[in-house]
Amino acid sequence: MNLQPTERVRLVFLFSDTGGGHRSAAEAIIEAIEKEYPNQVSTAMVDFFREYAPRPLDMAPEIYPPLTRLPDVWQFGYRVSDGRRRARLMNEMFWPYIRRSVQRLLREHPCDLLVSVHPLINNPVLHAMTGQHYVPYATVVTDLVSTHAAWFDARADLVVVPTGAARQRGLQMGLRPEQLHVIGLPVADRFTQPAKDVAELRRRLDWPLDRPVLLLVGGGEGMGPLEQVAQAIHRARLDAALVIIAGRNQALKARLEAHPWQMPVKVYGFVREMPDFMRAADVLITKAGPGTICEAFIAGLPLILYSRLPGQEEGNVRYVVEQGAGVWAPESEQVVATLQRWLRNPEQRQAAAEASHSLARPQAARQIARLLVERAGVHHRAMNPDLDGLHR
């Protein structure tokens, strides 16, 4: 499909920085749209809570990190709202408070397709469009397996899900089969590039060539018991090198750098070379975030999952373990025991690596981009009958 420059379809992506995955998913799809339709499609990103929600909801990105450090509180909030009827009742309770904000959002961002990558945005925006000017609406689910009820609103035109389990959940929530599209989780294009020579990568990164490299990450904020896991690996005196990504947690990075390591260790803060880090590593030790897991699948890395958020990340653990792509090791000693077993028996590590790679969906962002632009083009042509619009 080609679109004339004066006839661009417009897509608006609704997200919030409550966790890094929502922004990353939107950015990955927008990047794919530009690669599939260069200079042909107009896109915009709107942080729904920060830019439009009234106080205190506009503080959601700041409230999110401390909440995730209170697992019992987080789990209670997730469970109490995770149901078709319960989600609807909560949205009805908040609707009078946010109505004007949502209506202002729709006035200020006319488009051919609204795309949500956040579960709490769907109901209020779709509610605001009821009986008003129709704009097609798509949801891209950014949780891998355990998907909250708020992701699924039957008024959406399209709902893209990453796994069959997520599709089944959508059907249970009342969506029609034709609304649901199992495609995968969108990740940045740099993760999908052809594999590079591992030895050359390690030389450039100044990583050892003579032993396995263990990559330990805790997300962009350095969340979870990352430091305890690193110390346990150190005490075990494994014949391996350890690469630690502390993210934006500068205090953690400083402590790790000051530690007297007795094994080869590299400590980094927030990095943008994660695709090369994954290609150069032998094992990934991480919290069970969906984006990192899917990036590891593409790199063919066996996974050791040491932490997860209650609720939406529990299914990620089951998925990885049941598919043979890794293990769940919530205690530092379990992480060490798995590493010892994999180092003694590299064929076990290789089997997990192959299972991981078999789950990869590297073209998900491109496939989602094509689906969304096609749907936006249908609306664009309907609203502009005098224009050729999208034509094959």
Which ranges constitute the DSSP H helices of the chain? 20-36, 48-52, 60-68, 71-81, 84-108, 119-129, 164-172, 198-205, 226-235, 250-258, 274-280, 290-299, 314-322, 332-344, 346-358, 364-383
Are 20 and 147 contained in the same domain? yes
Burial degree of 191 (CB within 10 A; 0-12, 13-18, 19+): buried
**Cβ burial 214-241 (10 Å sphere, 16+ → b, else e):** bbbbbbbbbbbbbbebbebbbebebebb
CA-nearest of 161, 102, 104 to 126 is 102
- Whether 232 and 145 share a structural domain: no
Q: Are residues 183 and 218 in the same domain?
A: no
pLDDT reported for residue 224 = 63
Q: Are residues 224 and 101 both part of a single domain?
A: no
Q: What letter does residue 31 receive in the DSSP assignment?
A: H
Residue 145 lies in a domain: yes
Contact call for residues 47 and 12 (beta carbons, < 8 A)? no
Neighbours of 310 (CB within 10 A): 17
Task: Check if the beta carbon of residue 20 is closer than 8 Å to that of residue 291.
Answer: yes
Residues 354 and 370 placed together within one structural domain of the fold: no
CA distances from 238 to 125, 253, 264 (A): 52, 22, 10
Residue 392 lies in a domain: no
Burial 7-32 (b: 16+ CB within 10 A, else e): bbbbbbbbbbbbbebbbbbbbbbbbb
Chunked into runs of 10 residues, the chain (392 residues) has average pLDDT values of 64 89 96 96 95 82 78 82 80 82 93 96 91 87 95 96 97 97 98 92 96 88 78 96 93 94 95 95 96 97 95 94 98 98 98 98 98 92 68 38
pLDDT attached to residue 6: 47
pTM: 0.92
Residue 78: its pLDDT value, please? 82
Is 328 inside a domain boundary? yes
Spatial CB neighbours of 276, under 8 Å, sequence gap ≥ 6: 196, 201, 205
Task: Tell whether omega for the bond before 56 is within 30 degrees of 0, i.e. cis.
Answer: yes
Backbone angles phi, psi at 289, to 5 degrees: -70, 140
Is 374 among the domain residues? yes
- Quickly tell me which residue has 């450039």 as its tokens: 204
In terms of domains, do 161 and 250 share one? no
342 and 235 in a common domain: yes
| Domain-located, residue 17 | yes
Name the token pair of 216. Answer: 């330990």
Tally Cβ neighbours within 10 Å of residue 380: 22
Domain at 224, CATH number: 3.40.50.2000
> Among candidates 116, 99, 115, which has minimal Cα distance to 107?
99
The verdict on 196 and 181 lying in the same domain is: no
Are 152 and 47 within one domain? yes
Token pair, residue 85, equals 């009827």
Tokens of 79: 């469970």
CA pair distance 83, 325, nearest whole angstrom: 30
Residue range of the domain that includes 208: 192-358
Q: Indicate the number of domains in the chain.
A: 2
Q: Are residues 269 and 375 in the same domain?
A: no
Say if residue 149 is in the same domain as residue 245.
Answer: no
Euclidean distance between CA atoms 275 and 296, whole angstroms: 9
Residues 158 and 274 in one domain: no
Question: What is the pLDDT, as a whole number, of residue 391?
Answer: 41
Give the per-residue pLDDT at 76: 80
Domain assignment of residue 389, yes or no = no
